[in-house]
Amino acid sequence: MTLLLDNIRLTHPHLFQAFSLLPDAEQHLQRIMELDRYWERLKQPLRQVIMPGDTLPKDALISGEYDLIYAGGTLSLLHAAVMAGKYGRKVLIFDRQTPAKSTRDWNISRNELMNLSAIGLFTEREVDSTIGRRYKNGWVEFYQPDGKQKRLVMENVLDCAVDADRLLNLAKERILGAPGNALLAETSFVRCYQFDDHIIVQVEDRQGNPFFYKSKVLVDVMGILSPIAMQLNEGIPQTHVCPTVGTIASGFENAVFDIGEILASIGPADTSAEKGRQLIWEGFPAEGRNYITYLFFYDEADSPNDKSLLSLFESYFITLPDYKKPGKDFQIHRPVYGIIPAYCHDGFNRSREIADSHIILFGDAASLGSPLTFCGFGSMVRNLHHLTADLDRALTENNLAKKHLEKISAYEPNVASMANLMKYMCFNKATDEPNFVNDLMNEVMIVLDDLPQRYRQAMFRDEMKIEELAVVMLRLAWRYPKVLAATWEKLGIQGSLSFFKNLAGWAFSALR
Ligand SMILES: Cc1cc2nc3c(=O)[nH]c(=O)nc-3n(C[C@H](O)[C@H](O)[C@H](O)COP(=O)(O)OP(=O)(O)OC[C@H]3O[C@@H](n4cnc5c(N)ncnc54)[C@H](O)[C@@H]3O)c2cc1C
């Protein structure tokens, strides 16, 4: 058998060298390559996975019946644990890998994380036990060639490193603690069949054997690869993406262990890529001597840039010493990676499809989080209360048609509006100076630094109010008029109109 590692020896030598030291390199490479198939899928003909009930094979044998079936085993665990524990719903969760084993780690502030105890899912002590490290504060900084970049320091923002797997395993215990629930590993979603009063979900095991399960609702939490999201959104499930790679490692020479580096760019845009990309780092201390570093960039989903995680990992290992210097006892404990999705809505309200009859999408499959600051985890924690209570009510009242289920969403008008700002961070070498993103963001940092702490906290916690954003934007335009020309180049008429509609929807939602 050809090892995946051998296949990348020549194409990605730095990645090869780093992964050669990992005991589970093959599994990680398999998952990385699986995620990288996303790029091909965007170009392929649409696969139909939501089928009418009358096409269900006549010999389909139903292996089990549940209130809720969750396809995907990451954020689903948090939702399912509440549905099972608090609302007594019978749930099945399946994942084509291992449920409750994520390829990421998360940051959040403690107050926000405590939503999980407020909702009754865990005790405060249990929630605290998932925090690997808490730090004093965090900062954001964008490269300036003269070294005069503004370092924007903030408190109580993304200042807890959460051990994702520990948190998910706590949720898993809750689910399996209630009778009748089940978790299936190595089980892939194939398709589903819609009936008037239920849905049948077809899955297959690693050997390709088919199984059928019946449910009131199929909850699609398959992340960015969701074929359901792809079908419902006619092949455009995301408008923008943020490919992200990194490691949890120890042995850096210059890591600071009580401060988080929330966003840090250390150079101008990389113009060797087709359209170019502004690479950004993040650095967070974690448990013990571990330190987490990520490298990522924002881009349009259909840009010609090479956005593969494999290539980004190669860039990561080449440039890591410029950001944090690995010492002589440097050791990688685990790679982390994923494609963070984003969707810019063209309308006053949500314009992305996130439900169908007996089907609802949450997490990255729904793509309603902000890729700028918080992403899917923060969005789920913030919205968990109503995402569970509303779905329970829908089940009780048997309101499971699309028009009812699509009202149960993590859509937040402020987050949708703020997502437009990501377009300014998508570098384009045809129109932008190499330091364009850094210059613009440095000005934003100066503006925020002049304003009270709550502005920066609100911006980086997805809690901004429309009047606060207006203050920031007006001050920015005053200080840095180039942003107006950039708006024209980055958003154009269509994009500016969409942004305006999003802002109007946000303003209107505040009045309701
Ligand atoms: C490196 C990194 C760091 C991050 N840090 C943060 C952070 O600090 N804060 C934050 O809010 N967000 C963060 N995010 C984003 C966050 O991780 C995601 O929003 C979150 O993981 C989404 O969870 P999900 O369950 O929707 O999807 P995923 O995590 O993608 O999980 C989807 C699951 O579905 C399974 N699956 C896919 N297809 C199938 C199929 N056909 N059949 C069965 N199973 C399938 C997959 O195996 C996977 O386990 C980070 C992301 C990355 C990549």
DSSP codes joined into one string, 356-423: ETTEEE-GGGTT-S-SSS--HHHHHHHHHHHHHHHHHHHHHTT--SHHHHTTS----HHHHHHHGGGG
Residue 259 lies in a domain: no
244 Cα: distance to centroid of ligand 1 (angstroms): 12
The per-residue pLDDT for range 492-509, each reduced to its tens digit, is 999 999 999 999 999 988
Residue 125 lies in a domain: yes
**Inside any domain, residue 491:** no
Q: Kindly tell me the sign of the dihedral angle through the C-alpha atoms of 498, 499, 501, 505.
A: positive
State which of 261, 375, 382, 412 you would mutate to test the pocket of ligand 1, scoring each by most atoms of that ligand within 8 A of its C-beta.
375
Number of the ligand 1 atom closest to the C-alpha atom of 294 = 1
Closest residue by Cα to atom 48, ligand 1, is 72
Give the model's pLDDT for residue 511: 65
Asked if the structure places residue 36 within a domain, the reply is no
Q: Which atom of ligand 1 is nearest to the CA of 189?
A: 42
What's the rounded Cα separation, in Å, for the pair 482 and 461? Answer: 27
Residue 378 Cα: closest atom of ligand 1: 11
| Whether the Cβ atoms of residue 512 and residue 504 lie closer than 8 Å to each other | no
Name the stretches of the chain with pLDDT < 70.
Answer: 1-2, 374, 510-512
Check residue 91 and give its pLDDT. 98
Minimal CA–CA distance to 475: which of 458, 494, 493, 455?
A: 455
pTM: 0.96
> Quick one: how far is CA 63 from the chain centroid?
32
- Which one of 28, 104, 291, 372 would you pick to mutate in the ligand 1 pocket, going by the greatest count of ligand atoms within 8 A of its CB? 104
pLDDT of residue 157: 85
Beta-sheet strands, E only, within 178-228: 182-184, 187-194, 199-205, 210-220
CA distance 113 to 6: 41
How far, in Å, is the centroid of ligand 1 from the Cα of 108? Answer: 16
pLDDT for 224 equals 96
Classify residue 497: in a domain, yes or no.
no
Tell me how far the alpha carbon of residue 95 lies from the centroid of ligand 1, in angstroms. 12
How far is the C-alpha of 157 from the C-alpha of 412, rounded, in Å?
Answer: 19
Residue 493 lies in a domain: no
Q: Going by DSSP bridges, is the β-strand pair 187-194/50-52 parallel, antiparallel, or unpaired?
A: parallel
pLDDT of residue 489: 87
Strand partners, 231: none
Phi, psi of 361 (to 5 degrees): -110, 135
Two structure tokens written together for 405: 């289920």
Which atom of ligand 1 is least distant from the CA of 203? 42
For residue 38, is it within any domain? no
Please report, for the domain that includes residue 92, its CATH number: 3.50.50.60
What confidence score (pLDDT) does residue 156 get? 86
Pairing of strands 291-296, 240-252: antiparallel
Tell me, what's the pLDDT at 26?
A: 95
| Ligand 1 pocket list (CB less than 6 A) | 71-76, 94-97, 102, 104, 106-107, 188-189, 221-223, 225, 244, 246, 294, 336-338, 340, 363-365, 369, 374-378
For 336, list phi and psi in degrees, rounded to 5. Answer: -130, 145
Round to whole Å and give the CA distance between 70 and 80: 8
Q: Which domain holds residue 114?
A: 50-132+162-236+352-413
Domain count, the chain: 1
Q: Which two tokens stand for residue 388?
A: 């569970």
Write the CB contacts of 229 (distance below 8 Å, at least 6 apart in sequence).
Answer: 220, 222, 237, 353, 354, 361, 365, 366, 367
pLDDT given for residue 370 in this prediction:
81
pLDDT in the model for residue 510: 67
Q: Is 117 exposed, middle or buried (0-12, 13-18, 19+ CB in 10 A)?
A: middle
pLDDT for residue 512? 61
